[in-house]
Amino acid sequence: MNNFVYDIPTKVYFGENQLGNLGVELSKYGKRVLLTYGGGSIKKIGLYDKIVEEIKKAGLELYELSGIAPNPRVSSVNAGADICKRENIDVLLAVGGGSVLDCTKYIGAAAYYEGDAWDISLQKTPVERCLPIITVLTLAATGSEMDAGGVISNPETIDKIGLLFPVMQPKVSFLDPTATYTVNKFHTACGAADIISHVLEVYFNMDQDLYMLDTVMEGLIKTVIKYTPVALEEPDNYEARANLMWTSSWAINGFINGGKRQAWSCHPMEHELSAFYDITHGLGLAILTPRWMEYTLNEKTVSKFYQFGVNVFEIDGSLPQIEVAKKSIGLLKKFFFETLGLQSTLTEIGIDETNFKSMAKKAETLGSTKYAFQPLAAEDIENIFRMCL
């Protein structure tokens, strides 16, 4: 069992009508606020107005960067960093889903860097400082609201790179389940797949782990399986949205990791799909994950699949391990492709094998998948991509 350091200092206001605390929290870090957001959905749901009102009430100065896209681009990071430098921004306020939050984290770091922000992704410059970040979340998926990571895309080089720097950890996050009521079925489903993937990337590990954390992980997945169908059926079901929202944070804030040090598998593969085809991250994960499970299931790994099947899907534990394992993969497929209604193959979303080889090579390099649960060389990744056709 490996040692670890637990350090998740983000303060969270969870629930409805908590934005009355926004002004106080922002004011702790200064006067000049850069509000970052995406395509304007926060205006439609009235969130923008509420936030601007709180900022004005607190006597703060407001600057804005809008138009941050899904799979956020390094161009947005550079644009935001320019504003920070020009306007002497004190604190960043990211309002949106994971894309806006991730982009804002990089803006906070790039504000202290003179070159192209892509250098941060290429690790050409250390990230030792970051402007303080406060977030208001509108999508339960990436967990960016409570972790120090982010993923940025560079369309010019067809790269999508995820990194984690402790200084990027949000200081405060506002999680209001009602802010996710208007998330459509597709993005609710993709968010669910993303949350489950975050847990599975950690859960599937053959190291001697803390059993206690395994029970937590199984509970998180069961929560997503229980409540996503409710949220799809009744988008304004508070209980469902609340469970999904808090689960999204805990699936990736670091708590479940304990001392596990292995590399992730499906995320590096999916980042290539998104980089090449700009698809929604959670959809890519839903298509990839069951195939990755099929590919990595073997004599050495079967016991973990068995545990997953018995504890998450309540499959009869008296069945042979391999049978439980296969059933569990089948049930996960059923959940993603029938219950959530997500497309089940790359073919269905218009992706063919054209770029598999180069994507696999990049995934292997950027994701260190050689060190994963079941080590994956580029060839293995290519095989898994093919299984998704």
Footprint of a second copy on this chain (CB under 8 A)? 1-9, 11-18, 208, 210-216, 218-220, 222-223, 226-227, 238-239, 242-243, 246-247, 250, 258-259
Is the Cβ of residue 153 or residue 169 nearer to a second copy in the bound state?
Answer: 169
Is the Cβ of residue 74 or residue 192 nearer to a second copy in the bound state?
Answer: 192
Instruction: For residues 106 and 73, give the distance between their C-alpha atoms in angstroms, rounded to a whole number.
Output: 10
Nearest distance in Å: CB 332, a second copy = 18
Q: Quick check: helix, strand or coil at residue 64?
A: strand
Instruction: For residues 144 and 140, give the distance between their C-alpha atoms in angstroms, rounded to a whole number.
Output: 10
**Cα 45 from chain centroid?**
23
Nearest distance in Å: CB 133, a second copy = 16
CB 313 within 8 A of CB 327: yes
Is the Cβ of residue 225 or residue 269 nearer to a second copy in the bound state?
Answer: 225
Is the Cβ of residue 109 or residue 220 nearer to a second copy in the bound state?
Answer: 220
Structure tokens at 69: 């896209």
Q: Quick check: helix, strand or coil at residue 163?
A: strand
Q: Quick check: helix, strand or coil at residue 219?
A: helix
Nearest distance in Å: CB 143, a second copy = 14
Closest CA to 290 of 312, 272, 265: 265
Is the Cβ of residue 9 or residue 115 nearer to a second copy in the bound state?
Answer: 9
Is the Cβ of residue 17 or residue 345 nearer to a second copy in the bound state?
Answer: 17
Instruction: For residues 48 and 22, give the distance between their C-alpha atoms in angstroms, rounded to a whole number.
Output: 13
Provide the β-strand partners of residue 161. 152
Is the Cβ of residue 5 or residue 354 nearer to a second copy in the bound state?
Answer: 5
Nearest distance in Å: CB 169, a second copy = 11
Nearest distance in Å: CB 307, a second copy = 13
- Orientation angle between helical segments 185-203 and 281-296, nearest 10 degrees: 40
Nearest distance in Å: CB 304, a second copy = 16
Provide the β-strand partners of residue 116. none
Length of the chain: 389
Nearest distance in Å: CB 257, a second copy = 11
Closest CA to 73 of 336, 274, 284: 274
In this structure, which amino acid lies at residue 18?
A: Q
